[in-house]
Amino acid sequence: MAKLLLIILAVVVLVLWFKHMGRQRGEAGRPPAPKAAEDMVRCRVCAVNLPRSEAILSKGRFYCCDEHRRRDG
Ligand SMILES: [Zn+2]
């Protein structure tokens, strides 16, 4: 009986470990690149710098949020 519990425990640990590894890979492998190497762009309205992947692109201009995109027309 103790052996069975040990096997169940091992399976649980393995599952948790795989989930943990999968999460790490998901964050590291997110496109386009590691955050440090990501291009920074500037909002045309408030001039805040933000990663290109988080910026809103409209007509070749970058904005930090949808409100600023609309305000700039
Ligand atoms: Zn802005």
Provide the domain count of the chain: 2
Could you tell me the pTM of the whole model?
A: 0.49
Using the predicted structure, report yes or no on whether residue 19 has a pLDDT greater than 60: yes
Specify whether 25 is located in the same domain as 39. Answer: no
Are 43 and 24 in a shared domain?
A: no
**Which residues, including other chains, have CB under 8 Å from residue 68's CB and lie 6 or more apart?**
43, 44, 45, 46, 56
Structure tokens at 57: 């692109």
Same domain, 46 and 26: no
The least confident of 1-10, 27-36, 40-49, 61-70 is 27-36
* Residue 6 and residue 25 in one domain: yes
Q: What is the mean pLDDT of residues 9-30?
A: 82
Going from the Cα of 58 to the center of ligand 1, the distance in angstroms, rounded, reads: 13
Together in a domain, 26 and 41: no
- pLDDT surpassing 60 at residue 23: yes
Same domain, 47 and 68: yes
CA 7 to ligand 1 centroid distance, Å: 55
Are residues 48 and 14 both part of a single domain? no
**What is the bridge-based pairing of β-strands 49-51 and 56-58?**
unpaired
Same domain, 56 and 25: no
Residues less than 5 Å from ion ligand 1, measured at CB: 43, 45-46, 64, 68
